[in-house]
Chains A and B, each alone.
Chain A
Amino acid sequence: MKTEHNDSLLRFMTCGSVDDGKSTLIGRLLFDTKTILADTLTQISNTSKKRGMEAVDLSLLTDGLQAEREQGITIDVAYRYFSTGTRKYIIADAPGHEQYTRNMVTAASTANLAIILIDARKGVLTQTRRHSYLAHLVGIPHIVVAVNKMDLVDYDQNVYNKICADYLAFAKEIGLQRNSNNEAGHDIRFIPMSALNGDMLVDRLDNMPWYTGETLLEMLEKAPAAHTEQSEEFRFPVQFVCRPHASADADLHDFRGFMGRVESGDIAVGDAVTVLPNGYTSKVKAIQLGEAQLQSAQTEQSITLLLEDEIDTSRGDMIIKTGSKIEPVKQIEAFVCWLSETPLSPARTYIVRHTTRESKAKVGAISYKVDVNTLEQQATTDLKMNDIARMSFKLAQPLMVDSYSKNRATGAFIVIDESTNNTVGAGMIV
């Protein structure tokens, strides 16, 4: 008999300043959902003993690489996995240091929910603002504000309420909060917890009877997966064209399959489509996934599209539904986070990679830089690592873009330095 595996998947990230309890929280989630196996536990309990600790330090579970261990800090983004009976989770774990804005942006780029940790003793700090702003900038729709270390403030409801109020006041200020006339805002929820004791993560202990809301895991289990909340336009960047004409099978002689992933929206056999940037039109003849013939396909599926007409199409083209509005553009305006130790050089030519398409790009104007702590706009002529600026690029090739707030897939791009091939910038189109 076959087992059924129909769980959905949620990607989320954790943000917190050093010592807010991020590693402990992740360790707890993994431990309480029984993801940690005995040998790993033995390993970390040995290490805990070696370091003179009484209890097993669950934060060691997420302790990464040698180099970092030597420096005693976490750098970069690490990915962890756990699953419950109903859902698989991918956690992007990024450190909270000010210097690591780029890591947070990286982690946020694939997350649909962010857990923002606050130390109950400290309340809303500059770091909290920074994390919230970045979650907002990178378009994470669901935010869980976790007020941690409640055990150190005697589980005092007033402390918790004050922190929630402070946070909401600030959230309004930066346009983070969702309200009736701000559909694009974020869904913000609060939870008091003690990650160390495992209170309100998976289990509900008796310390906070005044809190009747969901536990963290309940929130995670119910949070919508990406792309499920609103209707989106169909966007299909062509990754690869399959033309097995040399095949011995005569039936395949005229086969021309456009392979790619549905970045947003859905498509069905018979739909009228337009191929950009050239503007050719046709109809969907068939949709294939492996040997399976599909009648329709939805967001995030990797499929092969066959069209009624023979159209000359190659990697980098975009297939949309006829009538959908998207114009090829040769200039883009965006918020850009600089990722590289080598600062942006306005005189140089870069490569912009957007969906499956690349274009050479020249820096246009830099309007301003955002101070991620105060959210102030500052005039600037250069961009250094971890800076975020609003700026424009002039493009050699047209790109088919949407605004990032409408579509996280077709509104995003990366900037590549042609001489080193490094990824040096991350852009979100305004």
Chain B
Amino acid sequence: MSIKKQPYHNPLSHLDWLEAEAIHILREVAGQCSNPVLLFSGGKDSLCILRLAEKAFRPGRFPFPLMHIDTGHNYQEVIDFRDQRAAELGERLIVRSVEDSMKRGTVVLKSPDEPRNKHQSVTLLEAIEEFGFDCCIGGARRDEEKARAKERIMSFRDEFGQWDPKNQRPELWNLYNARSHKGENIRAFPISNWTEMDVWQYIERENLGLPSIYFAHQRDVVMRSGAIVPINVPLASGEVINPPRAGEEIINMQVRFRTVGDITCTAPVISDADTVSKIVLETATTTITERGATRLDDQTSDASMEQRKKEGYF
């Protein structure tokens, strides 16, 4: 006995299926929400989402603006790429910065070199209020971390931006419920079902451009508690951050970034992959998870992401 019969339809390839699902989700957001926004960082996941939005809405304009919450500690290459992409698409890009929240006094750092990543949630909530957004589209994936495995595609946040794992709407079939009352917010994740591998395969298939730091390049780094830490990174302002600590040996290494976040908490990996195809191959054979390899702030506890989500982190 064998299940296999001649199929009536040929099934879609996994990338076509994932693409179709993501387009459907983006169009549901557009159909159900009155004032959505697409969070766009210039990173690989959000670049995939931009491509998906093109496929979902062209020849029309996107039914939402793009927004970046800038910690002020982003790689210049990524910021340039972000601006270039938004300009090419002719879509509106809103930038709100954690540094402005610091000036307003709504973000207070414990120390000047505290990573600003987790403070993005304050600035994000301020921007949501400023523009009255009822839905933020983001690039989070369920495979990134255990706490995300149960995340909904349309995830509900209360007035404080809090995510309550006990108070999420059941999600059945492809019938999404993105309704919200004033002040509440939906976070929509069109690539929930994608893995890091799917993302790279899609980038390869669609010939998507990426910020140069995703590809192998030479960089000054130090080894700090087992992680590769980029040092002396110049910012647009002219400021240079991440100085080496006393006694640390500066090494010039060939590295690339698997994820591009805040400079102070994103580590590169050793790699000679200088094309997308090589990255696809490297991703297939890597032995370390994306988050494990590259996040300097998540390693304290495997529940730390969940904690941050409860506090309103994306």
Contacts and interface: CB of A to CB of B under 8 A. Distances in A.
Interface of A: 1-3, 5-9, 37-40, 43, 62-67, 69, 76-81, 83, 87-88, 90, 102-103, 105-106, 109-110, 142, 187, 189, 219, 222-231, 239-240, 242-244, 247, 249, 252, 255, 257, 259-261, 266, 289-291, 298-302, 315, 339, 353-356, 408-409, 412-414, 416, 421-423, 426
Interface in B193-211: 193, 195, 197-198, 201, 204-205
Contact of A416 (B58, B179, B303, B307): B179
Contact of A259 (B56, B143, B172, B303): B56
13 contacts: A3-B201, A43-B302, A66-B147, A66-B307, A83-B195, A83-B197, A224-B3, A259-B27, A300-B12, A300-B17, A302-B55, A416-B179, A421-B177
A260 to B, nearest CB: 7
Interface in B132-178: 142-143, 146-147, 149-150, 165-166, 168-175, 177
Main secondary structure of the interface of A (DSSP, over half): mixed
Contacts of A353: 175, 177
A78 B3 CA distance: 27
A65 B306 contact: yes
Interface in B1-50: 1-5, 7-21, 23-24, 27-28, 30-31
A408 B292 contact: no
B274 interface: no
Which of B9, B280, B306 has most A Cβ within 10 Å? B9
Nearest to A339: B170
A229 B195 contact: no
B: interface residue count bin: 35 or more
Contact of A414 (B175, B293, B307): B175
Nearest to B177: A423
Contacts of B286: 37
Contact of A421 (B60, B175, B179, B293): B179
Contact of A9 (B12, B54, B289): B12
Contact of B11 (A8, A105, A356): A8
Given A5-B205, A65-B306, A242-B60, A230 B195 contact: no
Nearest to A243: B60
A3 B5 contact: no
B4 A224 contact: yes
Given A239-B27, A244-B60, A102 B177 contact: no
Contacts of B9: 227-228, 266, 298-299
Contacts of B179: 416, 421
B277 A2 contact: yes
A88 B31 CA distance: 29
A73 to B, nearest CB: 13
B171 A106 contact: yes
B4 A222 contact: yes
Contact of A66 (B180, B287, B303): B303
Given A3-B201, A81-B143, A222 B3 contact: yes
A66 B301 CA distance: 11
Contacts of A414: 172-173, 175, 177
B288 A142 contact: no
A7 B13 contact: yes
Given A66-B147, A239-B28, 12 more contacts: A7-B14, A65-B303, A78-B149, A78-B150, A83-B197, A219-B3, A257-B59, A290-B58, A302-B20, A354-B175, A408-B173, A409-B173
A244 B90 CA distance: 14
Which of B8, B10, B61, B286 has most A Cβ within 10 Å? B8
A287 to B, nearest CB: 13
A306 B56 CA distance: 14
